[in-house]
A and B are shown apart, each in its own frame.
Chain A
Amino acid sequence: MPKVLMKGNEALAEGAIIAGCRGFFGYPITPSSEIAEYMARKLPKLNGVFVQAESELAAINMVYGGASTGQRVMTASSGPGISLKQEGISFIAEAELPCLIVNISRGGPGLGGIQPAQSDYFQATRGGGHGDYRTMVLAPSSVQEMMDFAVTGFELADKYRSPVMIMAEGTLGQMMEPIIMREPVTKLPEKPWAVTGCRGRKPNIINTLHLSAEYLEERNHHLQNKYTSMALNEKRAESFQTEDAELVVVAFGLMARIVKKAVMEARQQGVKVGMIRPITLWPFPDEAIRQAVNSAKRFLAVEISMGQMIEDIRLAVAGRAPVEFYGRIGITPNPEEIYQEIMRIAQREGY
């Protein structure tokens, strides 16, 4: 396949098209708007549907409707917009509608800013809206992965009949890198539950109301079983030089690539440091962390937030090693900063 230079947001949009997405419903917000703009240019030419919704609420409900037809559909936004979508995401999770939701994340709370951040981690990994549900969350770290994860996201969404979220720092949406294009997906799964008109079959109903307490509980058990199965089968992480590491840095997204550079520099100074990059933020790859605890004496969470993923790291470590934190907000730490932090800990602890 050809190599092309693409912006992260456009690579993600193209990846979605490659995955067979033919419906995009969104509302403009920086730094995600290029995804909508790309879809507005491309989808009409592919007999697809692009609608600029009047609000984030409408956009996510269009995704609810679109996914109900069984077609691959998506929306993209950023922090404040994703907050508004939470009602719809809760409905989509319970109605078991596969779709892709993209958060090109920026710093909050409130209107916050437009600079990159990872501070929507809690919102993404804890469900986000009302009720007991989860969305699988993929965190790309390169423009190539922006494209690849769009395809993976749709596959996972269909596999589990569940919304899947891609969360990427604004930087990933805005930066350009050369990527290798992919072959279009041609075979899409059958969806006999979709609302298409009931010709030749019984009517299909897409619904999230369960007035009987017993049935509501049954539905919740059904969802939890699905989440257990996701947790069993879909945890993904990249481990880098963790085998002998005394200090393991944990970071995701583009932040992980920056951390990797700092880790390599520290290694050159003889510091036994490694890195774990969670690729799925939910389900969180706790086994990778647990494995590392056997050799690691200490962990360092590096996040573009005030410390959110660190809670999942601590849950995985379960008190067997200290977990330290280095984070900023709206400002992506540079390799030098992380290197200094690693060296400071290494010198202090004598690693």
Chain B
Amino acid sequence: MKVIARRPESLTEAKFHYCPGCTHGIIHRLIGECLDELNLRENAIGICPVGCAVLAYEYFNCDMLEAAHGRAPAIATAIKRLQPNNTVFTYQGDGDLASIGMGEIVHASLRGEKITVVFVNNAIYGMTGGQMAPTTLLGQVTTTSPYGRNKDFEGYPAKMAELLSQNEGSAYICRTAVNNPANVIKTKKAIKKALQIQQQGLGFTMVEILSTCPTNWGLSPLDALDWVEEKMIPYYPLGEFKVKED
């Protein structure tokens, strides 16, 4: 017998707590595979957010920290500066990164911190039960935008990849999705590239990943994947927004 698929060593054996159809699990696995393939597990330090991925420190089989809401980039900054030989990554959701942590993420990027940010954008607050996120689409119904997000009252959804790509300190900014196998493969490539650019010391790296929240979107897992394709990707175009060559 030959093993053709197995759990990456960079993931623990703990069972994910994520809802059925949620794509956090796929993204965790992709990070695990990248850490394995780059032989970084024993060198990596990860920082998880407040949000659905708050327990990610139980899932990644490397040194991990749990941050206060939005503050992961500040924590990552100090760790990377004091221990430049470590590979440092944060894992953040849209409320964490683009709302309460907007200051920390923008300045980590401006300073060109040599860290990798995995930004999971599912256009909603999952853990607290489906409230409006800074990335909630116009017209999208959430528990705190019950009549649909209205630009006149709630303003516009934040385009973080575009925003951070403007900063000189950003070395690699990419937006991907995990709604189909092709996009999953592209996402893995992007995460790997971001980690490699971090290793080269070129600056701040971020992969924004369009993800699903069937539970709070009120959709079946399959319909949720279609919703990413039909609603999210038109507003949040995929692709590389910044690639700094060394």
Contacts and interface: CB of A to CB of B under 8 A. Distances in A.
Nearest to A66: B78
A87 interface: yes
21 contacts: A23-B82, A25-B78, A49-B82, A54-B107, A58-B77, A64-B71, A69-B78, A69-B83, A88-B71, A195-B79, A196-B86, A197-B63, A197-B86, A198-B41, A198-B63, A203-B61, A205-B57, A206-B65, A207-B57, A207-B64, A207-B65
A62 interface: yes
B78 A205 contact: no
Given A65-B47, A204-B63, 4 more contacts: A64-B71, A68-B79, A71-B82, A88-B68
B64 A23 contact: no
A205 B62 CA distance: 9
A329 interface: no
A206 B66 contact: yes
A63 interface: yes
Interface in B27-45: 41-45
A147 interface: no
The residue among B44, B68, B103 with the most chain A CB atoms within 10 A of its own CB is: B68
Contacts of B67: 61, 64
Contacts of B45: 195-197
Interface string B71-115: 100111111011100100000000000000001101100010000
A57 interface: yes
Contacts of B82: 22-23, 49, 66, 69, 71, 73
- Please classify how large the interface on chain A is, using the bins under 10, 10 to 19, 20 to 34, 35 or more: 35 or more
A69 B78 CA distance: 9
The residue among A49, A61, A65, A68 with the most chain B CB atoms within 10 A of its own CB is: A65
Contact of A196 (B65, B78, B83): B83
Interface string A32-72: 00000000000000000101011101110111111011010
- Please classify how large the interface on chain B is, using the bins under 10, 10 to 19, 20 to 34, 35 or more: 20 to 34
Given A206-B65, A209-B66, A197 B43 contact: yes
A49 B78 contact: yes
Nearest to B58: A205
A63 B111 CA distance: 17
Contacts of A203: 60-64
A61 B74 contact: yes
A68 B54 CA distance: 18
A209 B104 contact: no
Interface string A3-35: 000000000000000000011010000000000
B238 interface: no
B37 to A, nearest CB: 17
B86 A51 contact: no
Contacts of B68: 61, 64, 87-88, 91
Given A23-B82, A196-B86, A198-B41, A205 B74 contact: no
Nearest to B66: A207
List 8 tightest A-B contacts by C-beta distance, closest first.
Answer: A65-B78, A65-B75, A61-B74, A54-B107, A66-B78, A61-B71, A62-B78, A199-B42
